[in-house]
C-alpha cells in the first residue's frame, strides 16, 4: 500500500495540498481589513487584486512544493534504497513465420537509465520502414557480429512468409569467402526454401567471370539467394 502511494506521489501531494490550502484559506484569510491594503484597493485596485490572488495562490503552491520534496525524499531514501529490482519476463518471441508485418528483432530493451535489468522488458524492433536503409554491425574480432547478428537477422527475414511464394523475401548475398553463403543455404533449407538458393561462383552451375568485361578486375566468389519478387504490404 505504501509503495503504491509513493509511486503516485504527485497525486498524493495534490490531495494533501488541496486539504492544506483550503484549511489555510479559511484560517489565515487575506487581510483585507489592513489599512495599507485598503488604501491600495482604492488607489491601485489592479495591484490589490494581484496581491490578493497571489496570496491565495501561495496558500496552495507552497504546500505542494513542500509535500513534493518530502514525498520524493521518502521515495528515494526509504523505498528505493532497499528495493531489489527483479527482472521481468520478456513477451513471447514473435515467430518470424507467424508475423503479419515485416520487422526485425535485434535484441532486448533494458533499463534506459541504469545498468540493471528492466521490470518490464520488451523486444527492440526495427520496423519495416527502417529496413530500407543500411545496417552497420560494428565490433572487434570475435565479439559475435556474425553469429549474434547476421545469422539471426537473415533467419528472421528468410522465414517471413516462407510458405507464400508471393510474399516471401529474397535477397542478394555478396561474399568473398563463402562461409556466410553456406549458412544462408542451410537457413533456406530449414524453412523449406532450398530451391530458392542460386549460387554464382567459379564452380557452380551459374558462373560469372568479373574479368571478362570492361570493369575493374575484382575477383572472388559471388553467391545469391533468390526468391520471386516480393509484394510487401
Q: Which residues of the chain have pLDDT under 70?
A: 1-7, 78-85, 210-211, 213-233
Residue 58 lies in a domain: yes
- 188 and 156, same structural domain? yes
Residue 89 lies in a domain: no
In which domain, by residue range, is 48 found? 2-82
- 196 and 139, same structural domain? yes
* Residue 231, pLDDT score: 37
- 77 and 121, same structural domain? no
Residue 88 lies in a domain: no
- 132 and 41, same structural domain? no
**Total number of domains in the chain:** 2
- 165 and 76, same structural domain? no
Residue 140 lies in a domain: yes
Residue 90 lies in a domain: no
The answer to whether 12 touches 5, Cβ cutoff 8 Å, is yes
Residue 91 lies in a domain: no
- 59 and 102, same structural domain? no
Of 82, 115, 140, the residue that ends a domain is: 82
**pTM of the complete model beyond 0.85:** no
| Cell numbers placing 195 | 530451391
- 177 and 111, same structural domain? yes
- 100 and 52, same structural domain? no
- 63 and 19, same structural domain? yes
- 144 and 212, same structural domain? yes
* Residue 82, pLDDT score: 54
179 vs 62: CA distance, rounded Å:
69
- 163 and 122, same structural domain? yes
- 54 and 121, same structural domain? no
* Residue 225, pLDDT score: 44
Of 82, 111, 138, the residue that ends a domain is: 82
Residue 233 lies in a domain: no
Of 52, 82, 112, the residue that ends a domain is: 82
Amino acid at each position: 500500500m505504501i509503495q503504491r502511494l509513493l509511486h503516485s506521489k504527485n497525486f498524493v501531494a495534490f490531495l494533501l495540498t488541496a486539504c492544506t490550502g483550503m484549511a489555510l484559506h479559511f484560517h489565515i484569510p487575506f487581510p483585507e481589513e489592513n489599512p495599507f491594503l485598503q488604501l491600495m484597493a482604492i488607489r491601485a485596485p489592479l495591484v490589490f487584486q494581484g496581491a490578493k490572488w497571489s496570496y491565495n495562490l501561495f496558500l496552495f503552491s507552497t504546500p505542494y512544493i513542500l509535500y513534493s520534496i518530502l514525498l520524493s525524499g521518502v521515495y528515494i531514501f526509504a523505498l528505493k534504497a532497499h528495493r531489489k529490482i527483479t527482472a521481468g519476463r520478456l513477451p513471447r518471441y514473435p515467430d518470424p513465420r507467424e508475423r503479419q508485418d515485416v520487422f526485425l528483432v535485434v535484441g532486448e530493451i533494458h533499463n534506459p537509465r541504469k545498468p540493471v535489468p528492466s521490470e518490464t522488458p520488451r523486444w527492440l524492433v526495427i520496423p519495416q520502414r527502417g529496413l530500407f536503409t543500411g545496417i552497420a554491425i560494428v565490433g572487434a574480432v570475435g565479439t559475435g557480429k556474425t553469429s549474434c547478428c547476421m545469422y539471426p537477422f537473415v533467419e528472421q527475414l528468410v522465414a517471413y512468409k516462407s510458405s507464400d511464394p508471393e510474399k516471401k523475401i529474397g535477397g542478394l548475398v555478396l561474399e568473398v569467402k563463402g562461409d556466410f553463403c553456406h549458412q544462408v543455404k542451410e537457413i533456406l533449407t530449414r524453412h523449406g526454401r532450398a530451391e530458392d538458393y542460386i549460387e554464382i561462383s567459379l564452380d557452380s552451375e551459374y558462373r560469372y567471370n568479373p574479368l571478362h568485361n570492361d570493369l575493374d578486375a575484382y575477383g572472388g566468389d559471388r553467391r545469391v539467394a533468390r526468391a520471386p519478387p516480393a509484394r510487401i504490404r
